[in-house]
Amino acid sequence: MNILCIGDIIGSPGRQALEKLLPDIKKEFGVDFTIVNAENSAGGFGLTGRIADQFLKQGCDVLTLGDHTWDKRDLYEYLAETDKVIRPANFPPGAPGRGWTVRKAKNGQKIGVINLLGRVFMRYNVECPFRSLENIVKEVRKETNIIILDMHAETTSEKVAMGFFADGKISGVFGTHTHIQTADEKILPKGTAYITDLGMTGPYDSVIGQEKELIIERFLTSMPNKFSVATEDVWLHGAVMEIDDKTGKALKITRIQRKKE
């Protein structure tokens, strides 16, 4: 079982890169199931139902979100009606949508996908992601032992801690949010695939996807300004996790970097 995990899609450059590069990547790695973090895909902040539908038609199986989940109000109703787009499960009760889902892969195998939000340096007060994971895993395991977590968090330490906490409980943990791919992909001691951050799918001639001149000006002046998604040097970043169908344990994890020509 090969599960493709793709890092934060940034605006229209990221959407175009996904559309162009996804078919060849899926063919190259024999991908059975695709998970994409889509929380920055609508103009760099948030997701809309229309864009979500586009991603799903292009062959993405589950879309995950993060701290920009609520940036586009039209997504609220959409989240309440779908199990293919999930938001962080540790938002308080009453938030629209769901935080985990179980979907069938191309080969018929069920895959559980969980989305969680870190608490360190984040703008939302959410429930403990560690305890939330424990509770959700009990439910997901009633249907499948292949479970992948998108840990959307700011700090490396929180993501690494989640990796070790989840080791042996689920099949794989990938981090999102910081937009820079880390070179620490590994199989943890109890059989869980792990990478601290997938990186982003979008323009790398930028500061984490935004026009670099605007970000530099803000650092120099401490004055607010309107960010704008950059357009140059567009890459798709992510990873493929090879999972044993029977045990749910990870066999291999491979980082992916592909340039949109």
What CATH number is attached to the domain comprising 229?
A: 3.60.21.10
List, by residue number, the catalytic residues. 68
C-alpha to C-alpha distance for 200 and 158, rounded to whole angstroms:
19
Number of domains in the chain: 1
Domain limits for position 237: 2-259
Residues in the chain: 261
Burial category of 222 from C-beta neighbours within 10 Å (exposed 0-12, middle 13-18, buried 19 and up): exposed
From first to last of its 261 residues, what are the pLDDT tens digits of the chain?
999 999 999 999 999 999 999 999 999 999 999 999 999 999 999 999 999 999 999 999 999 999 999 999 999 999 999 999 999 999 999 999 999 999 999 889 999 999 999 999 998 889 999 999 999 999 999 999 999 999 999 999 999 999 999 999 999 999 999 999 999 999 999 999 999 999 999 999 999 999 999 999 999 999 988 889 999 999 999 999 999 999 999 999 999 999 998
Cβ atoms of 5 and 35 closer than 8 Å: yes
Q: What are the helix (H) ranges across the chain?
A: 11-29, 49-57, 75-81, 129-140, 156-166, 212-221
pLDDT at 178: 96
pLDDT at 123: 87
Cβ atoms of 162 and 192 closer than 8 Å: no
| DSSP helix/strand/coil, 227 | coil
